[in-house]
Amino acid sequence: MRISIRKLGMIPILVAAMAACSSDDPAGMVSLGVEESDGLRVEMLAAAPLRVGLNRIFYRLTDVATEEPVLAATIAQGPVMRMPMHDHACPFSDPAAVAGTDGLFEGEIVFTMTNEDGRWDNEVKVVRGGVEHAFAFNDLTIGEGFRQMLRVGEGDERVTYVLTLTFLEAPRVGLNDFVLTIHRRDGHFSFPEMPSMEVGVTPFMPAHGHGSTGSVDPSYVGSGKYEGVVSFNMGGTWTIDFDVTDLGTVVFELTI
């Protein structure tokens, strides 16, 4: 099975979502809203404007009475797409405290579609000192990005997988680090990670009929993420084939 997707001009935006900040230096993040509940303030932030694909999400917790950061708490996030016919979720990882910061917790959300045909909300629960606080960050704006739904099997045996592609820096001539996410869709609200896939990466330039040497097949690093390297030996329009064990081939196209 071979499936192709083209999203030209999206790479600089997708790069920003991954590279605008690091765990040591969260400066320059985008605030997505601030909510308060029973003396606790929560700010939701992102490394850049949200896009389809992998997004680094942050939460800053503050005690309203003292204005001091809250360092001890657990956070559960719940992104939900509200649509006329049904609601559905997407892959995500719950936040954990970021070392060396004051009250900052980092997680991930893999948005699977824009908000053009519905509304993305994020239902967040924070447990602090045994008390649960509920927050809602609604009507999030999600831009376009690289995503593909890969369907395997027929009828009741059909299984759907969600794949996204994100570069860590702006793609250029040479070697480029990337993250490919692979999750299985079990109904509308469950997206188990797929940790045992073997994935091959093959860049190809259709206009000249050649590939490029030096790419490194992605390997699994956790939370549905596969990290690898793709090589481009000249500027222009390239396709990237990802051959996934027992699933088929997904093709992304970009211009550098």
55-107 residue pLDDT tens: 999 999 999 999 999 999 999 999 999 999 899 999 999 999 887 777 899 99
Phi, psi at 12, each rounded to 5°: -60, -35
At which residue do the structure tokens 């910061």 appear?
101
pLDDT of the residue at 76: 97
Confidence band of 16 (pLDDT split at 50, 70, 90): very low
Contact 166, 211 (CB under 8 A): no
Matching residue, tokens 């993250």: 179
Q: What percent of the chain has pLDDT over 90?
A: 75
| C-alpha of 34 from chain center | 22
What residues contact 176, with CB distance under 8 A and at least 6 apart? Answer: 167, 168, 169, 229, 230, 231, 232
Domains of the chain: 2-14+145-255 (2.60.40.10), 17-140 (2.60.40)
Q: Check whether 8 has a pLDDT greater than 60.
A: no
User: Cα–Cα distance between 56 and 7 in angstroms, integer?
Assistant: 21
CA dihedral 201→205→206→207, nearest 10 degrees, is 180
- In whole angstroms, give the CA distance from residue 169 to residue 17: 10
The pLDDT score that the predictor gives to residue 170 is 83
The CA-atom distances, in angstroms, between 175 and each of 42, 142, 172 are 39, 29, 8
**pLDDT recorded at residue 9:** 37
Residue type, 32: L
Which pLDDT does position 26 carry in this prediction? Answer: 55
- The whole-number average pLDDT for the span 171-177 is 96
- pLDDT category at 27 given cuts 50, 70, 90 is low
Which residues share a beta bridge with 35? 42
Give the phi and the psi of residue 250 in degrees, each rounded to 5.
-115, 135
What is the average pLDDT score of the chain?
89
Q: Look at strands 2-6 and 248-255 and give their pairing.
A: parallel
The band of 173, judged by pLDDT with boundaries at 50, 70 and 90, is very high
Identify the residue with better confidence: 84 or 202: 202
Selection from 205, 40, 213, 209 nearest residue 126 by Cα: 40
pTM of the model: 0.86
156: helix, strand or coil: helix
CA–CA dist 42, 62 (Å, integer): 7
For residue 9, the cross-strand partners are: none
Q: What is the predicted pLDDT for the residue at 10?
A: 41
